[in-house]
Amino acid sequence: MLDHDDIHPLFHGAPDTTEFRKLRKRIVRLTREAIETYGMARRGERWLVCLSGGKDSYTLLAALTELQWRGLLPVEILACNLDQGQPGFPATVLPEFLARMGVPHRIEYQNTYSVVVDKVPLGKTYCALCSRLRRGHLYRIAREEGCAAVVLGHHRDDIIETFLLNLFHGGKLAAMPPKLLNDEGDLYVHRPLALVSEADCGRFARAMGYPIIPCDLCGSQEGLQRAQIKRMVDEWETRSPGRRAILFRALTQANPSHLLDPTLFDFRGL
């Protein structure tokens, strides 16, 4: 399925090594598995694939394009970058890259950066407000473009970290769903990289030489809860390799009768 002949421009220049071919096949296979397992794709739909310029979104775009190229993803892809007005953001990198790769795209400029730094008190994290503003614009763009889904590049590690954040800081058992219907009921949110590790995304994007753009807004803040959770999981993984895989497997094997939520299991009627 993933031979080097007849490939999409996104894969031109791919390293011709056994290690990279295995990495590429694994990412595409897991992406396809997530799409099929969670029923994401419906023939003829249009997807708004959100591209931040980070390693995860490049990997997402490449994997989806590969599946589409091979006739395994019967949807139309529209890549979208939301330029949020962060100082120093290299605004020409993504449009030039997407045009060179022949990827249909839309670049949207909205200065949410100024809103976030103005509204968020000193010492507080930007993430919540930044995320809400970004999501609102992406929903609007999806509707304007006739898209059925907003597709995000969150990977397996993001899901694990969100689960632990909710557990330790939110007091609830919840993670990032691989598929979500928005509150208005007119758009889906898909996370096709739900089964793919962050490490694989990083290895893939670096090997392909994609022009990575760092997030200098939230990334510039210290003491973020997510960063603390990430360090904790990293330490677990160092001491006990495979810990991330076990945590993720637990999220796929919930047992309501062995928890304490009476809305999920009828303890009274037992």
Per-residue confidence at 1, pLDDT binned at 50, 70, 90?
A: very low
pLDDT bin (cut points 50, 70, 90) of residue 114 is: confident
| Average pLDDT in the chain | 90
Instruction: Give the global pTM.
Output: 0.90
Question: Which pLDDT score is estimated for 64?
Answer: 97
| Among the ranges given (27-36, 39-48, 116-125, 164-173), the one the predictor scored with the smallest mean pLDDT | 116-125
Asked whether 10 and 65 are in contact (CB, 8 A), the reply is yes
Tell me: pLDDT of 220 over 70: no
